[in-house]
A and B are shown apart, each in its own frame.
Chain A
Amino acid sequence: MPSDNAFLPINALLSEQELSKEGVSFWQDGFFRLKKSRRAKSALCILGFFILLAFLGPWISGHTYYDINLDIKNTPPSSLFWLGSDDLGRDLFTRLCYGIRISLFVGLAAAVIDLVIGVTYGAFAAFCGGKVDEILMRLTDILSTIPDLLIIIALTVVFGTGLGSIILAFIVTGWISMARIIRSKILQTKNTDYVLAAKTMGASIRHIFFHHLIPSSIGPMIVTMTLTIPLAIFTEAILSFLGLGVQVPIASLGSLAHDGLTSMRYYPWRLFFPSIAISCIILSFNVLGDVLRDCFDPQGKDV
């Protein structure tokens, strides 16, 4: 039975409006999802492990990477040589650690180059627009028509093998995809309604650029960097594997794999350990990049 005042009017208007959940900013949302992601955590753990290994490994192993001892060459993993020795009696564990250092260094260099050259180039092109943009982009199109490996090989021939040439090659072409992505993101953002609204409210171009366009591209920036790093490491590994990268006695993961290739049948550990190391590092970076993309750049689907 309805109560007596059931049919009396109430002032139920608007004071009742259920507020929806408090708004969450893009960054808050992204970080929240990042923290939740198990894949990201595992990837970070693995990377952390390798970084530790790279820096502390040689210190705790008690060996150097260049000491030759022909008596104990090609031994399997033992308490003396934790991962075995190579054909010149050098400790593989220490060499592996140094190899990881090189890989990480290459990755870092690539990321920095991406950031410095790529972002500046792309942002500049997007900012200028018009003819300048067209010319700049045409240039990158042309540069990208030459397969990367060939450029590196060509540079290796001119400047000699070793890390220098590899880094140089990155400086020539490694930043192109970053430049493209940043430019396209900025152009995309330029056309969004909120930038249009800012313009109608009288915001200056400089303000729009630094306060809207650049921040919107931080997401793709981080993601692209995180995905360029494994690519760079991969490239260096392949080059060293082909004999075009670092030279003896310096060890890179790729050159260690190269050394291990010929003795694969009899001393498989020499190939096995560097390969596993490099796969894990690249995999972790890729997974991290993937997760970051899901969190901070959901529209970025380009390869």
Chain B
Amino acid sequence: MNPLLEIDDLSISFQSSEEKIFALQDFDMSIYPGEIVGIIGESGSGKTALTSSIMRLLPSSGKVEKGTITFENMDLLKRTPKQMQAVYGNDISMIFQDPMTALTPTLKVGSQIIEVIRRHKNISEKEAKFHAIQLLYEVGVPDAHMRLEQYPHELSGGLRQRVLIAIAIANNPKLIIADEPTTSLDMMTAAQIGALLYHLSRSRGASLIIISHDLRFVSGLCDRLYVLYAVNLVESGSTSDIFDMPAHPYTRGLIDSIPSMTTDRTKPLKAIKGTISSQKKPFTQCPFVSRCNYAMHICKDEAPALNAVSKNHRCACFLHAPGAEKRLEEFTHDLNPIEVLS
């Protein structure tokens, strides 16, 4: 089966008045129809650059240095923005992060849903309105008739997020990108939105890319995961593989830092020391080296490549290189089995 979206060797940079900063480096990803894929990364990891480049929303200071983004045999980066206008909102859609600011304040909610429908389908205003009501119902917005006539500021955050989802699924896209769908929501609402996204994907056969730094959310929802750190892909694999056996110290650090019901409450919470730094030139060492508990000399001398740890589980870390077995054992030994949260 051919992947729906394939990203190959993507590198993106941003040019400010003084310097050039790399936002993403040598990124590979593929997603198949119907899959739910998660991209984990903190701020500065490159996830925003990634989604912006798929949606061709990079600011003028951003540049794609190299790589391809192929959607159904079409190289997205080679098309003109005008050509892409027929694709976005139709085959590929995106749900933005902050529902409080993602809707236009001066337009009614109904107009904002109807406009995306009528842009891509030649149907009457009435039919589109009917369609919009059905969509609102599907995403769990009650009193849809009334909501259509309201303005965004009259809706709560959770409702607005649902409206954004309705807009995204309106034309039955094959691929939906959800950027931090739960960041500004409380836990209860986040769980509901998660369930909604899952249901929508399965029922419509759409592929989902979920960008998040919330591991719990992602673990319950996604089939596969990609872990981004400091503009590089450091680990990828199925969710169960990654949670059972995190191959990269960063991933391991992230998972360890999740407090659970069984965490010892007398000890301080585990955190990863230090902070991420911005990249001004291609890496000559492992980006995580200054924060890694298992760093070795080679980690400072060379940049690790992505290698297979097991079937469909890849990791960019010298711990898995031949010769590092001793350190690898220490690493695995410290590992505690994690319950995969569902």
Contact = CB atoms under 8 A, between A and B. Distances in A.
Physical contact A–B (CB less than 8 Å): yes
Interface of A: 2-3, 5-10, 12-14, 16-18, 20
A17 B274 contact: yes
Contacts of A17: 274, 277, 290
A6 B289 contact: no
A9 B296 CA distance: 4
Given A7-B318, A7-B326, A13 B291 contact: yes
Contacts of A9: 294-296, 327
Contact of B323 (A2, A10, A16, A18): A2
B290 A6 contact: no
Main secondary structure of the interface of A (DSSP, over half): loop
A27 B292 CA distance: 38
Contacts of A12: 289-290, 292, 295, 299-300
Given A2-B321, A6-B301, A9-B327, 4 more contacts: A7-B297, A7-B326, A12-B295, A16-B290
A7 B327 contact: yes
Contacts of A10: 295-297, 299-300
11 contacts: A2-B323, A6-B298, A7-B298, A7-B324, A7-B326, A10-B295, A13-B292, A14-B273, A14-B290, A16-B289, A20-B277
Contacts of A2: 298, 321, 323
Contacts of B293: 13
B297 A3 contact: yes
Contacts of B289: 12, 16
A127 B297 CA distance: 60
Interface of B: 273-274, 277, 289-301, 318, 321, 323-324, 326-327
A14 B318 CA distance: 19
Given A13-B273, A14-B273, A8 B297 contact: yes
A13 B299 CA distance: 12
Contacts of B324: 7
B290 A13 contact: yes
A7 B323 contact: yes
Give the top 4 A-B pairs by smallest Cβ distance, nearest first.
A6-B298, A16-B290, A12-B295, A7-B324
A12 B294 CA distance: 9
A13 to B, nearest CB: 6
A6 B296 contact: yes
Nearest to B290: A16
Contacts of B291: 13-14
A16 B289 CA distance: 9
Contacts of B290: 12-14, 16-18
Contacts of B323: 2, 6-7
B316 to A, nearest CB: 16
B176 to A, nearest CB: 36
A8 B319 CA distance: 11
Nearest to A15: B290
A2 B299 CA distance: 11
A17 B327 CA distance: 23
Nearest to B292: A12
A14 B290 CA distance: 6
A14 B274 contact: yes
- Specify which of A5, A9, A12, A14 lies most central, judged by the most chain B CB atoms within 10 Å of its CB: A12
A14 B323 CA distance: 25
Contacts of A13: 273-274, 290-293, 295
Contacts of B273: 13-14
A14 B326 CA distance: 23
- Specify which of A10, A14, A18, A20 lies most central, judged by the most chain B CB atoms within 10 Å of its CB: A10
Contacts of B321: 2, 7
B297 A5 contact: yes
A14 B277 CA distance: 12
A20 B44 CA distance: 15
B296 A8 contact: yes
Contacts of A18: 277, 290
A178 to B, nearest CB: 31
Contacts of B297: 3, 5-8, 10
A11 B255 CA distance: 23
A14 B292 CA distance: 9
B258 to A, nearest CB: 22
Contacts of B295: 9-10, 12-13
B301 to A, nearest CB: 7
A17 B292 CA distance: 12
A16 B298 CA distance: 15
A20 B293 CA distance: 22
A18 B291 CA distance: 12
B122 to A, nearest CB: 42
B253 to A, nearest CB: 13
B296 A7 contact: yes
A18 B290 CA distance: 9
A7 B319 CA distance: 8
- Specify which of A2, A7, A17, A18 lies most central, judged by the most chain B CB atoms within 10 Å of its CB: A7
A296 B277 CA distance: 28
A14 B293 CA distance: 11
B252 to A, nearest CB: 16
Nearest to B293: A13
B278 to A, nearest CB: 8
A4 to B, nearest CB: 10
